[in-house]
Chains A and B, each alone.
Chain A
């Protein structure tokens, strides 16, 4: 019999599944489709704003958890966050991640704000602005998802805590792609995998660089062999090169997904995609099976442990109907923190949005709770964006919560299984 059924293959599900599989459990990873990895920048942002800029997450986290007792980090714990980051970094060689829980990078976004991120692909790191620097932003004419002039001006106006000098300018190049004016980021990334294409681009850029500028490009530097592409470009230009993540779909996110899935599969895990969990069978405080719709049939998936990593409101795992009723779609778990009529959202977009925190309440081992704080199922853990209590997009904590909760759920499952 299967030991663990993980539902959802975003970061949280992938991490939980991989860790359990590596611990020797038999894991099935089941998903309707790919997760928000394909949309998100691929950086692990732990905590960026509280609401002031956070420079050192490990210092900020305990305080943050104290003040926000309903936040996922208050359940997960700062020490687990730190351990999960280390575990994650170790999964990547070749294409590596860099950073630690003791500091946040300050990386330029595609519009030129600077954003705190904790663990980042090595290919992004040279954009770090904490110590200032001279940057050249390079746009690719055929890509409509990056506007280097605006990015450069905003970056030049950015204020960092150190107040270090930043200078930035922008150029556009037109890589050799015949007959297409509108090329997506993913298509460009595949072209960069081709050494001839990379050479041509390097030649164009090297005619434009100046002094000791570092060179920033949209995050499309290769899909199959990103490390070689990035190193090749640095070598050809004789200077640091960095990628800037942009609008979905995200090339660094796809890389992350593919690397984790490959490791899970080579560790013996089983992946079932195109399958939707639609309900569950339970007995008392135990889940016995999850009902799964695939190929027009509904089939029970039996396991000893279940991990709900279905992604919350953003992926449709939790829904609100037109009569404002909220429902979690697999276990019908109670959804907490749904504000009353008229209070779900603030009329001002940049305000706190109360509805943003709605989700599933969990205990310290990530089991779901009901309204009175009673544990609902002993062999079910809830991870990632399903968990209540964070407005992750404003805190810059999305992947941090997904990674650390996925990691911790695996701890719970492994302990209970052994």
Chain B
């Protein structure tokens, strides 16, 4: 059996794992990262998109607030290209207690978060759609951050430092000899091949799944509660700054402008299995009503897609039982299994926020160095990620300006997200994935208003050409993409998006008849035999 040898094995390809790999590799260790799906397919790809200023936690959780503002400033330096510097408002709506604003100001000042109260008319001029009954407005340095770009850039830096990123590799078991963890056995989910990765240190960065992986290492009792939250992307930038309700953290109180859309969220419901977060109609209704409070007319805007993510919330087993996961600390937990379980060569890092991923990684790798008895300086707060070396923030017109420059030389494959053919082909070659949903995350293909109605057929044809895959694989890929997309649009099909869905039905069933493409897969045939 093949096996792989490395100094450090990182399990989990979300922000935390990618951040750890980036940190480990840039400190000069041999690094392998394994992720059971694609990078950013866990919570990281299903989050709200907010680079916290810390304002949200300024009253309730000062430690979390301080961590956020610290990291907010670091990431603006080292990950600028993933950030759109939108700024943020905290607003007092008629449903919020105006006095909270004073506590908020005070909390922000205590934590070092730059905060300023502005006159509501000034805010209405800048953001004409927000509720005119808002009575107080505070500005903070919130921003929007692109998690997919972030994890892939961490991966890129890891590779530049000779690390390996193995996506679609699932950890089946942790290898342990006596009290020493020696790596993990993994399975390539695409080829089925199984092999061992031997490592001096294994770092468990599997977010909401961290308890399961710790169990594999024989370190029981790592309880990670799964707190589900849903978000809905609306068709327009209803706002151009992040808008938060100025109140204790609650549901549906943040609206984040991300690229061409804005995202309302979120909820927080404790669920048993992090692999099955579903979206209920009641949650959709709740988000729409909450959106309406921030931006009147919200319900008439077009909802593009809905998704659910699960918060990894580490729970101290000794703390009293609670079912509101929002009360569990948002701060992260680094578990030293040597101290906790007498097991060496194994660390677990879970919880936290995307905003603090870098700091979590630094702390983890510092602990690892301490255990190995070596001192190597952390580079991640100093050296920018590869795509951020110019230090420029992402801006909304970035793709359009590129498109305008090459309009006559290249084809526009996705009109909604302005993705050109050469760029798409390059990414397909780089990722070397036959899964269209991976390509979607890589370039945001099919994420605009038409939800892939036009570009997905094109992308399938191009993938078939570029990757030299056979037609069976291409067909499967398109069908799987359509199924995946359906999950995200089906719960919010009303108004114009229902109309759009009908057009897409006509394209995929009427014009292309994807349902009756030749298939080599049993389940596709079975579906066809229903009445």
Contacts and interface: CB of A to CB of B under 8 A. Distances in A.
Asked if chains A and B come from one complex, the reply is yes
Interface of A: 36, 39-41, 49, 51, 109-115, 142, 144-147, 149-150, 153-154, 157-159, 179-182, 245-248, 312-316, 319-324, 341-342, 344-345, 347-352, 355-356, 392-394, 396, 398
Contacts of B524: 350
Given A51-B531, A179-B408, A314 B495 contact: no
A113 B494 contact: no
Contact of B515 (A147, A247, A319, A350): A350
B281 A342 contact: yes
B81 interface: no
B399 interface: no
Q: Which of B458, B462, B505, B527 has the most CB of A within 10 A?
A: B505
15 contacts: A40-B506, A51-B530, A51-B531, A113-B512, A149-B461, A149-B465, A150-B460, A314-B499, A316-B496, A322-B288, A324-B494, A348-B527, A350-B479, A350-B527, A398-B506
Interface string B492-531: 0111101100110111011111111110000010011111
Contact of B454 (A111, A247, A350): A247
A40 B510 contact: yes
Given A51-B528, A150-B474, A114 B516 contact: yes
Nearest to B465: A149
B231 interface: no
A245 B503 CA distance: 16
Nearest to B498: A320
A109 B507 CA distance: 11
Interface secondary structure of B, over-half rule: helix
Contacts of A247: 454, 457, 507, 511
Contacts of A356: 505
A314 B503 contact: yes
Q: Which of A149, A180, A349 has the most CB of B within 10 A?
A: A349
B495 A109 contact: no
B464 to A, nearest CB: 4
A349 B482 contact: yes
A204 to B, nearest CB: 20
A345 B493 CA distance: 9
Contacts of B474: 150
B503 A150 contact: no
Interface stretch (B31-39, B366-374, B483-491): B483-491
Contacts of A182: 407-408, 410-412
Contacts, number: 164
A181 B408 contact: yes
Contacts of A114: 513, 516
A113 B288 contact: no
A115 B527 contact: no
Given A113-B514, A182-B412, A321-B299, 7 more contacts: A40-B511, A51-B529, A110-B457, A147-B461, A182-B408, A320-B498, A350-B479
Contacts of B407: 182
Contacts of A319: 495, 498-499
A149 B512 contact: no
Q: Which of A51, A154, A181, A348 has the most CB of B within 10 A?
A: A181
Given A113-B517, A154-B518, A320-B495, A351 B530 contact: yes
A182 B496 CA distance: 28
Contacts of A36: 506
Nearest to A345: B490
Contacts of B506: 36, 39-40, 314, 393, 398
A154 B520 CA distance: 12
Nearest to A344: B493
A44 B416 CA distance: 31
B475 interface: yes
- Ranked 10 nearest A-B pairs via Cβ: A147-B461, A153-B471, A349-B486, A393-B509, A157-B518, A314-B502, A322-B299, A182-B411, A113-B513, A150-B464
Given A314-B499, A348-B483, A398-B506, A109 B511 contact: yes
Nearest to A393: B509
Interface of B: 281, 288, 299-300, 303, 407-413, 421, 454, 457-458, 460-462, 464-465, 470-472, 474-475, 478-479, 482-483, 485-487, 490, 493-496, 498-499, 502-503, 505-507, 509-518, 524, 527-531
Nearest to B280: A342
B465 A147 contact: yes
B278 to A, nearest CB: 9
B517 to A, nearest CB: 5
A352 B530 contact: yes
B513 to A, nearest CB: 4
B511 A41 contact: yes
A147 B475 CA distance: 13
Contacts of A352: 530-531
B502 A313 contact: yes
A322 B300 contact: yes
A246 B502 contact: no
Contacts of A342: 281
Contacts of A150: 460-461, 464-465, 471, 474
A144 B528 contact: no
B388 to A, nearest CB: 31
A348 B28 CA distance: 47
Contacts of B516: 49, 113-115
Nearest to B469: A150
A144 B482 contact: no
A284 B408 CA distance: 60
Contact of A349 (B421, B460, B483): B483
A8 to B, nearest CB: 15
B524 to A, nearest CB: 8
A113 B512 CA distance: 7
Q: Which of B408, B472, B486 has the most CB of A within 10 A?
A: B486
Given A350-B479, A350-B515, A144 B471 contact: no
Contacts of B503: 39, 314
Contacts of B454: 247-248
A315 B498 CA distance: 10
B460 A111 contact: yes
B281 A341 contact: yes
Contacts of A313: 498-499, 502
Contact of B510 (A112, A323, A349, A396): A396
Given A345-B490, A349-B482, A394 B518 contact: no
Given A36-B506, A109-B512, A110-B511, A321 B494 contact: yes
Nearest to B519: A157
B50 to A, nearest CB: 24
B425 to A, nearest CB: 12
A51 B464 CA distance: 29
A39 B529 CA distance: 29
Contacts of B515: 113, 350, 394
Nearest to A342: B281
B512 A144 contact: no
Contacts of B485: 349
Contact of B527 (A109, A345, A351): A351
Nearest to B468: A149
A308 B407 CA distance: 43
